[in-house]
Amino acid sequence: MLRLAPPAWQAIAAHARQAAPEEACGILVGRHEAGEWLALRAEPCLNVHPGDRRRHFLIDPERHLALQREARQQGLEIVAFYHSHPEGPCSPSEEDGRMAHPWAPMLIVALRAGDVAEARAWLWQQGAARAIPLAVAP
């Protein structure tokens, strides 16, 4: 299960709305314990994809590395990644699968008419995506 602290979810939803019509992207920091990913905070990142950012995303690699160091110093870790699909489905694309980490879920937030319509968490294992439970709770 991917569990989001309410402030993390609020930051993700606000970032997705603000970035539209481009894809928002970011990193979730927290703890992974007992088979559950707990995201204590969301760290919005710049979408530095060199092409059409309405259909693609690339998390700024410098920010990714900085967050990894910051999390370690705080006794935390990167537990998941997120991005939005403006006006698109909440299911992962082939490109999402190529970018996925097998150890960390990917949260996809679908927007419709500029507002969050759905969110789902996915985990890639052995080249296939499977939905995992998602909850917003402390």
- Active-site residue, 23 included: yes
Catalytic residue among 23, 62, 70, 94: 23
Residue 124 corresponds to which amino acid?
W
Residue 71 corresponds to which amino acid?
A
E-strand stretches of 46-133: 77-86, 106-112, 115-125, 128-132
C-beta neighbour count of 128 within 10 angstroms: 9
Dihedral sign computed on CA atoms, order 118, 124, 129, 134: negative
Q: Which residue numbers are catalytic?
A: 23
